[in-house]
Every structure is written in C-alpha cells, then in structure tokens.
Amino acid sequence: MNLSHIRALVTRPEPQARALTEAIRESNGQAWSMPMLDIDALAETQAMRDCLLMLDQFDRVIVTSRPAARLGVELIERYWPQLPMHCQWFAIGSSTAAELEQFAIKAQYSQTGEDSEALLALDAFNHVQDKKVLIIKGVGGREVLEQHLGNCGARVDTLVVYQRACPSYERNAVVKKLESHSINVILCGSGETLTNLGYYLPMSYRADYRLLVPSERVARQARSLGFQQVTNTGGASNEMMLQALARICLF
C-alpha cells in the first residue's frame, strides 16, 4: 500500500492515534496526531465492584468501544482470573473486537456496520426476553442499546469505566497544524471526536479538507457541521482507514 499522496491529521484518542499515525507512515504517507478526545478512567467504586462480582450471572456482555474494552477487561481481570464460560461477548465494530482479542476474548460483531444498530441486527439479539445483558461503556454516549434491549424484555446493566473530555488546545492550534504541515485529509473515528474538532476548526476551513469518518451516521453529522468532502470508511479500524486513504484521490 502506497500512501505517498497522504498528509493526514489523526484525531482519535491515544494510544490509538499513535498506532494509526505510525501505520500511515509505514505505508509511505505522512501523518501527525492531534487527539480530539481525552479518555479518563473512572475510579473504581463499590457499585462497579458489585457489578463485576456478578459477571457470571450475565448471558451477554456488550463492549461499546476500544477504551471500554481495555479498561473494562483490566477491571474484570482483578476479580476474574478466568472469565465465566457461558457469557457471550459482543463488540461494536471490528476495532473493539480486535482490542478484546488482545485479552484472549473472542467477541462477535457486525460485519455490515460499526454502530449500535448494526450490532442489534445480529441474530443473537432477536430473542432477548429475560436475558441478562451487561454493557461496558463510557459516561454518556448514545443509549440505543439500553433502550432497545430493555424494550425487548432484557434485563440490562451498565458498567461505566471511563469518561470522555474535550482536550485543551490553543484556539487556533488545529488551523496551525493543518497549515504548517499542508495537511490534505483529516481522520475522525467517532461523532464526539468530530464534535470536538468542530469546536477548534472554524467553519470557513471545513470545506477545504477531505474528512474520513467510520459510519454513515457520523458522515451525516459531518455534513451538518459544514464538511463537504466526507468519506465513509465503513469502519473505525486502522485497516479500514488505511484502505480508504489508498482509494481516495486528492487534488
């Protein structure tokens, strides 16, 4: 893969930003990271411990993001050196599934989309009446999973392991980075990352840059924020982003 035409700004949080930046450079592209999302682990509480100790009572565990995978499993391993055998694991997106695989957890995920709706379309969620489901996630975010599964009769609990924050930069820091490196494409891995990018990037600049996003939902959000050159990569994994970079034409 030759990405010599690419001069990319990577906005995903660390450590994912560093990994994607290095992958672009290994393919002969140029890339700089400027995370538009900070991930802060939450201190362990008694409520979290109570939930963790009941892990063997859940039929299904859904992990919503890579930080949720990493921080959630690190917590679980404090109490469960060996995971309960009967729990089925699910991940939103291939990149979250890959993160879980680093902990030897095989999670099912949708092959057709990288959001909650795509996961819920799996056959495994056709009949969830009276099933106990644990969702490992960050503070806030969309509540599609909780609402849908609860409406279908599942008993849903959440394990909230981190909070997101908008990083603090000088007001014109993004514009300086874009112009000083002649960047021609910006990579955003989530809707919240995109929102924070919009905070720092003036409207007058948004039409000038190719923007790569992981789903049609985030693509619609990007267009509503004034980005005009939007590419849906079909996923947030490094591989999907790299493949999309290889396909795009820049003028």
Cα separation, 182 vs 116, whole angstroms:
36
Q: What is the pLDDT of residue 251?
A: 52
Domains in the chain: ranges and CATH: 7-37+169-247 (3.40.50.10090), 40-164 (3.40.50.10090)
d(CA 243, CA 112): 16
State the pLDDT at residue 250: 64
Q: How far apart are CA 146 and CA 151, in angstroms?
A: 8
Q: What DSSP assignment string belongs to 65-99? A: SHHHHHHHHHHHHHH-SS--TT-EEEESSHHHHHH
pTM: 0.80
Q: In the chain, which stretches have pLDDT less than 50?
A: none
